[in-house]
Chain A
Amino acid sequence: MRSAVIIFPGSNRDSDMIAALEHVGGTKPQAIWHAETELPDLDLIVLPGGFSYGDYLRTGAIAARSPVMAAVVKAAQRGTAVLGVCNGFQILCEVGLLPGILMRNATLNFICRYIHLRVETADSVFTRGYQRGEIFRCPVAHGEGNFRADDGTLASLRDEDRIAFRYVDETGAAMSEANRNGSVDNIAGILNSRRNVLGLMPHPENVIEPAQGGTGGRKLFEGLVAALELA
């Protein structure tokens, strides 16, 4: 699998993502600097977590206009798999590859904690390693993870099976207490209509090895490796 992690100057989970991809896939992804305007041939592009350009304005708004993002959009349109985690999800929404927006958490505080995710579709290169309905523990760490979209967008996300993950409690119930950031319909991650772009707020790259407190994120990367190595 030829993969790359885009490095913005304020990325801070880039090394976590690189380590996860290397741990699961066996090869180290390329690190691509935000000032690049062209990308090599790739099977997977990852936008990692962090504070791309400080995010003092709307999160991801400046990153969406960075040189490298024009190339990422082109690659996505050609069908390359693009994964955005946390700040990466925010950037994907800002650049228009995914619908909706991530607003300040309902608590107005930054939240770092373990939550539970329910896999809502196994029909994508990102989620094929999971069973639909599977529940796993995964951390979140963000101040702006409150997913919002208009009713029409939400309807098409549901109708087209594009909601990838929901926040749930440990029994799998999508209740409001499980949804600390206040996202509409407990949405934690969504796909584009072509199903080659995934954005999610939680950090699967931080639950790869047992020592990290869980391995629930592994299947996402294992699924990607399996799908993209065959491709």
Chain B
Amino acid sequence: MSDAAILITPALIAEHGLKPDEYQRILDLIGREPTITELGIFSAMWNEHCSYKSSKRWLRTLPTTGNRVIYGPGENAGAVDIGDGQAVVFKMESHNHPSFIEPYQGAATGVGGILRDVFTMGARPIAALNALFFGAPDHPKTRHLVAGVVGGIGGYGNSFGVPTIGGLTSFDGRYNGNILVNAFAAGLVDSDKIFTLQAEGVGRPVVYLGSKTGRDGIHGATMASAEFGGGDSEEKRPTVQVGDPFSEKLLLEACLELMTTGAVVAIQDMGAAGLTSSAVEMGAKGNLGIRLDLDRVPVREPGMTAYEMMLSESQERMLMVLRPEKKAKAEAIFRKWALDFAIVGETTDDLRFRVIHHDTEVADLPIKELGDQAPEYDRPHIDPPLPQAIDPEKIPPPEDYGEALIQILSAPDMASRRWIWEQYDHLVQGNTIQRPGGDAGVVRLPGTRKALAFTVDVTPRYCQADPFEGGKQAVAECWRNLTAVGAEPLAITDNLNFGNPERPEIMGQFVAAIAGIDEACTTLAFPVVSGNVSLYNETNGIAIPPTPAIAGVGLLLDSSRMATLALRNEGDVLLLVGRSGSHLGRSIYLREVAGRDEGLPPPVDLNLEKITGDLIRRLITRGEIATCHDISDGGLIVALAEMALAGNIGASISSPDPEAPLGWLFGEDQARYLVSCSPGDIGAVTSAGANSKVPVTPIGSVGGDAVNCEGVLAIPLAKLRQGYENWLPDFMSRPG
């Protein structure tokens, strides 16, 4: 059916996710009724996923600059200077809705999309991570989703050849109907060879590269901007794209080779809303018009309409503006890699986005208004109500502290993630010097002494109780995890997952979390250089907990001075860096052992974080501590158990109050680390603590084959390991 034959009805407009006032804005902008192709283009560009219309005004409040920041938000990914003329390029992005509908392909294409964002800037991907949030373990869909998502992430990243070196997996019934799949990638590039999406020059060829365009993924971005209703997920299957990591690998190599020739003026990958958003963004950013001739677009099947081609989300495609004189050279490179190469349009000086199909103009739209001047909302928001603080006196101690520790270490949120990360090739490229399972994954940079550390963090139960403190804590824990391996934290990318922003209480959570992230990033000089917002994570009116996942990057100048959490030497001394624990509100102990999800999360004193973290980094760099672990979920005793299990050696500690050690063992107070050093270094470590005015307290020593707290608990490592290592494999292989 030709465009002219389709009547633009209010129902059709609503199906495209456009509100009546937004449609009115379209009429005012173009002075006539849009064609169906134009309606599709507006719908793709103005949906929440592409336009950030509900979140933009709040995102603008975040700190995005710093001495090392080369590119902040607005490009395909952020870029940060790491010295010696090198930069690290990174971003995190959600693929939540597709992964719920078709977990393998949804997660796989999430990885593909984020890798493209990184190599679009000229950077070769060197590390991938992910943050996964599933429903309750006993929900009937959970195992299917875990298996599919993990399989898809591995299937894509392993074949592409990027090491997946870390991540975060959490289970909570509030994700039953809306799992979260957030994929992170980082790449390495010479700082003077970074490519951007800003087109330049009139009359230059717009070139289509990569795989052919098919009918898959049409309206993926619009889907990602609406709530699910009952039964919807089956009907939405055709909107999920299918990934081909082999083509992605070819695209990577071809793009990087092409970039060395000087042919590329601007480049943008075709992600959400494919051809539409890549063309519009390159033109709008460069203050140029774009004319596309769809008859030249490589297609998988005949008979595709302009509407379908403009909205297809077929994967592994790129759009570039090239220097005309280098066209033959560029084409030869793409032919070598057996990829499609077609000139599909040109840049113009009229600031219009024109699309021609079968000699007919099917779209003629103002490019700026489509792109960077999309609608923006200040949605009503109400401050999240704070829960009552919990009286620590009223929290019952466990009948048996040892049993409580075993129970916690084998809880779904705490047990080992080995079953997951062993399905990811975390060693390819040969540069992984800290594997998954530690505080941060670390890759060395060949030809230098440097290494980069990566982690992703958020504690949804804290964010649910207090989005402001939860946002702060996510940033602080990320900063701490980088610090714990000895890295200087550089910058973050955020993936803000929330419910329906049209509900003032959800918008209130968003606004509060942003304020918390802002405060933490500002105080810790830890800017946000890229990110992604995923809203409408609700099913039948039930929203996910606020989940602002924070992925951070840190730099080690000397990779031989890296700390790990594995205890090593019999006789080493264990020291608590930071004050004694007491805070049990929203703790793992309270939830897993006492069965209560109550109270306020631990407040984060950012100045204390900074002083304590700076001390830890100094101790690691000077080689004065052998091992280090940040204290977070589960408190001191869980940190100790994780260190002992990792090193396969026991440890003994003494509580200052063996009669009432509950808060000391399980409190989740922030700004704390557990470290070990050789007995000869105790003096140096404690005096460094005194100089920084940070309490450093010897609490025990390394040795034996049990985790022991004098007079309180003594559990053999083998027994701890059983629950810790077996929960996830047992869960995934349970019959039925």
Contacts and interface: CB of A to CB of B under 8 A. Distances in A.
Contacts of A19: 430, 446
B198 interface: no
Interface stretch (A50-58, A64-72, A126-134, A147-155): A50-58
B430 A205 contact: yes
B423 A56 contact: no
B444 A112 contact: no
Contacts of A20: 430
A10 B159 contact: yes
B435 to A, nearest CB: 8
A84 to B, nearest CB: 17
Contacts of B244: 54
A176 interface: no
Contact of B423 (A13, A112, A139): A112
Contacts of B246: 9-10, 51, 53-56
A180 B504 CA distance: 52
Contacts, number: 86
Given A13-B161, A51-B246, A211-B559, A112 B430 contact: no
A212 B430 contact: yes
A12 B249 contact: yes
A205 to B, nearest CB: 7
Nearest to B436: A112
Contacts of A13: 161, 428-430
A141 B159 contact: no
A16 B430 contact: yes
A91 to B, nearest CB: 15
A56 B159 CA distance: 10
B158 interface: yes
B430 A51 contact: no
B374 interface: no
B378 to A, nearest CB: 47
A113 interface: yes
Interface in A1-48: 9-10, 12-13, 15-16, 19-20
B249 A113 contact: no
A112 B427 contact: yes
Contacts of B154: 109-110
The range of chain B's interface size is 20 to 34
Nearest to B435: A213
B424 A112 contact: yes
B161 A139 contact: no
B161 A112 contact: no
Interface in B390-429: 421-429
Given A12-B160, A13-B161, A110-B154, A141 B428 contact: yes
Contact of A206 (B151, B253, B423, B430): B430
Most buried by A among B161, B246, B427: B427
A203 interface: yes
Interface string A68-92: 0000000000000000000000000
A51 B159 contact: yes
A111 interface: yes
B250 interface: yes
A109 B423 CA distance: 7
A19 B444 CA distance: 14
Most buried by A among B423, B424, B430: B430
Nearest to B246: A54
Interface string B325-358: 0000000000001100000000000000000000
A1 B250 CA distance: 31
B245 interface: yes
Contacts of A112: 158, 421-427
Contact of A211 (B247, B422, B444): B444
Contacts of B608: none
A69 to B, nearest CB: 17
Interface string A185-222: 00000000000000000010110100111000000000
Contact of B159 (A12, A111, A203, A206): A12
B194 interface: no
Most buried by A among B158, B250, B338: B158
A55 B246 CA distance: 9
Nearest to A208: B430
Contacts of A109: 151, 154, 422-423
Most buried by B among A10, A49, A56, A213: A10
B429 A16 contact: yes
Interface in A111-128: 111-113
B597 to A, nearest CB: 33
B249 A211 contact: no
B263 interface: no
A211 B429 CA distance: 13
B168 interface: no
Contacts of A139: 427
Most buried by B among A49, A139, A205, A211: A211
B433 interface: yes
A61 to B, nearest CB: 14
Nearest to A13: B428
A109 B159 CA distance: 14
Contact of A113 (B247, B422, B430, B433): B422
A24 to B, nearest CB: 13
Contacts of B425: 110, 112, 141
A51 B162 CA distance: 13
B281 to A, nearest CB: 29
A19 to B, nearest CB: 6
A141 B427 contact: yes
Contacts of A12: 159-161, 249, 428
A212 B159 contact: no
Contact of B250 (A9, A15, A212): A9
Contacts of B424: 110, 112
B518 to A, nearest CB: 37
A15 B162 CA distance: 12
Given A9-B246, A211-B560, 7 more contacts: A13-B161, A51-B245, A54-B245, A109-B422, A110-B154, A141-B158, A205-B430
User: Nearest 8 pairs between A and B by C-beta?
Assistant: A12-B161, A54-B246, A16-B430, A141-B425, A51-B159, A112-B425, A110-B423, A110-B154
19 contacts: A9-B246, A9-B249, A9-B337, A10-B250, A12-B249, A15-B429, A51-B245, A53-B246, A54-B247, A109-B154, A109-B422, A111-B422, A112-B423, A112-B427, A141-B428, A203-B427, A208-B430, A212-B433, A213-B432
Interface of B: 151, 154-155, 158-161, 244-247, 249-250, 253, 337-338, 421-430, 432-433, 435, 444, 446, 559-560
Interface of A: 9-10, 12-13, 15-16, 19-20, 49-51, 53-56, 109-113, 139, 141, 143, 203, 205-206, 208, 211-213
